[in-house]
Structures are given as structure tokens and as C-alpha cells.
Amino acid sequence: MSPFWAGLFENLRGRGRDAPLFMLVLPALIVALLVAAEIPESVYRNTILPALPWVGLVGMVWGTRVFLRARARSRERLGRSTLSDDERCKARAKLVRRQAQQNNSLVPPG
């Protein structure tokens, strides 16, 4: 494997869960461009070209639905219940303790 491909795969591996999606979409787009370039010279020109707007419309509707579902899921995750008095007291004490530790580490010994 060439250093380019090894570096690309290593980089994508560290990027998280969107890397496989990128690796699938990129070749699909290249193939779609090649097919689109051949349509005007094809014998199927009279059937494919009128169908393209409808395919695009279906794709846009599907993409909108996916986007709206993802946004609704993220809003559900953002909803937090209020903390009880005991939980709030413990969280505040933890924050104050952490802030005091940071302030002590910033003061030069002297």
C-alpha cells in the first residue's frame, strides 16, 4: 500500500464514525458524475433526464426527514431534569473544590 493510502486510512480511522460514510459516499459521487457525463450521449437520454428531477425531489425529502429526526433526537438528549437539593449541593461542592485546586496550582511557590 502506498504511503498516501496508508496515511489516508490512518487519518480516517482517528476521525470517528463518519469516516466509513465518507469512504462510501466519495466513490458513489465519482460514479454518479461519470454516469451523468454519459447521459447526454446515451440512448436512454429520453427516459433518464425527465426522471432526474423526481429522483432529486425524493432525495431532498428523504434528506429533510433524516435531518429533522436527528434534530429531534438531539433535542431529546438536551432535556435535563432538575437536580434535587442534595445533588445540587454535591455538584457545587465538587466545582468549588476543583476551582480551588486549579487556583492553588497557578500560584507560584514562594
> pLDDT digits over 59-80, tens only?
999 999 999 998 888 887 766 7
The percent of residues in the chain predicted with pLDDT above 70, rounded, is: 86
pTM: 0.41
The percent of residues in the chain predicted with pLDDT above 90, rounded, is: 18
Query: CA dihedral defined by 27, 30, 34, 36, rounded to 10 degrees?
Result: 110
Provide the H-helix boundaries in the chain: 3-13, 18-38, 45-78, 85-106
Averaged over 79-103, what is the pLDDT? 85
Residues 6+ apart with CB under 8 A from 91: 83
